[in-house]
Amino acid sequence: MSKPLIGLTTTRLRNKDGLPTFGVNRPYARSVSMAGGIPILIPLDLPDDDLNNLLDRLDGILFTGGYDIDPQRYGSQPHPKVEHIDAGRDHVECHLVQATIQAGKPLLGICRGLQVINVTLGGSLYEDLQDQFAGSIMHDNHDKPRDSLVHPVNVERVSLLSQIIPCNQTLVNSLHHQGVRLLASDLNPSAFSPDGLVEAVELPELRFGLAVQWHPEELQEYASMRRLFQVFVDSCQTVNSLS
């Protein structure tokens, strides 16, 4: 049986010579690979038809983390803390969210990935939690190692996430300054931080439709975080077997 092909959305970068590149942090690809999938990096700036043709060949999509979504996409205004907007990446990911759902293929979102899924389906974001979300705990912990467990999340009992993380609460890392303000009507919340911020969402119409606000790819020493990728990849394998 062939391994499932899983697309990873990419970030626009520059290499040491200043040349433009596309890439992802290595732990995303490694987590997919360790769970039995083959990670395929999706270039930015592909036309929609090419994205659709690529999706036809993939068994699932991982929407990775990264910089901020343009607030205009969710009807908001610029904010001084919003940075590194990439309209090309926003377009590619929003198109792929819609196309992946329409194709009925598994999707996993991480950090920005959760946010782009929510925005694509009609939700909105806090542009900066410390400024706009009353009572917010510290969610932006880029001053700490990426695998630092900084706060708990409470997992909803009846959810896909509760089948992956069987305890009602788990500790997570936290590397974001934005979060869900208005949750899209097609999404169900399945985890919350102590201040009430949505930390995980699910799309019940899909075989596997889950997004988390933390970074499980950086926490692969923990069985529950490995299991999150394993269940995702297994769902992609099912799609692969049916095609």
Question: How do residues 188-232 score in pLDDT, each as one tens digit?
Answer: 999 999 999 999 999 999 999 999 999 999 999 999 999 999 999
Contacts of 45 (CB under 8 A, 6+ apart): 88, 92
Determine contact, residues 58/6, Cβ cutoff 8 Å.
yes
Specify whether 111 is catalytic: yes
From the list 127, 202, 217, 218, the catalytic residue is 217
Residue 100 has φ and ψ, to the nearest 5°, of: -65, -40
In the DSSP assignment, the letter for residue 90 is H
Number of compact structural domains in the chain:
1
Residue entry with tokens 């529950």? 224
Catalytic status, residue 91: no
**Residue from 93, 111, 127, 202 carrying the catalytic annotation:** 111
Tell me, yes or no, if 167 is annotated catalytic.
Answer: no
**In what helix (H) or strand (E) does residue 153 lie, and over which residues does it extend?**
strand 151-155
Please say whether the beta carbons of 39 and 229 come within 8 A.
no
CA distance 51 to 101: 14
- What is the model's pLDDT at position 197? 98
pLDDT at 239: 75
Among 139, 176, 177, 215, the active-site one is 215
The model's pLDDT over 156-168, given as tens digits with 9 standing for 90+, comes to 999 999 999 988 9
Q: Shortest CA distance to 26 belongs to which of 11, 14, 16?
A: 11
Task: Read off the CATH number of the domain in which 106 is found.
Answer: 3.40.50.880
- Write out the residue range of the structural domain in which residue 200 sits: 5-242
d(CA 115, CA 100): 16
Closest CA to 164 of 140, 191, 146: 191
Q: Which residues of the chain have pLDDT under 50?
A: none
DSSP designation for 205: T
Instruction: Give the per-residue pLDDT at 243.
Output: 66
- The tally of CA atoms less than 13 A away on the side-chain side of residue 85 is 13
